[in-house]
Amino acid sequence: MSDSDVTEQAIRDLAYELWQRNGCPRGDEDHFWYEAERVLKAAKAPAASASSQKPNDE
């Protein structure tokens, strides 16, 4: 999976949502950005691995 599979806008939107859910704390922006990036990439990973599996021809 490449980094381009998760767009910057998707990360930004989720990071903002996480930040709001946590009471809009100041000074911890990076935490929410990296958490959003991790969550989105993890959500893409199962879909990517499932689509790369070949059917068993027995």
Does 16 reside within a domain?
Answer: yes
Distance CA 33, CA 2 (A): 18
**10-residue stretch averages of pLDDT, the chain, 58 residues long:** 76 97 94 97 77 58
Does 1 reside within a domain?
Answer: yes
Q: Could you give the count of Cα atoms lying within 13 Å of 27 in the half-sphere of its Cβ? A: 0
* pLDDT score for 58: 47
Domains identified in the chain, total number: 1
* pLDDT score for 1: 42
Distance CA 31, CA 19 (A): 9
Does 43 reside within a domain?
Answer: no
Does 48 reside within a domain?
Answer: no
Q: What SS3 class is residue 47? A: helix
Does 55 reside within a domain?
Answer: no
Q: Which range of residues forms the domain containing residue 3?
A: 1-34
Predicted TM-score (pTM) of this structure: 0.70
* pLDDT score for 2: 55
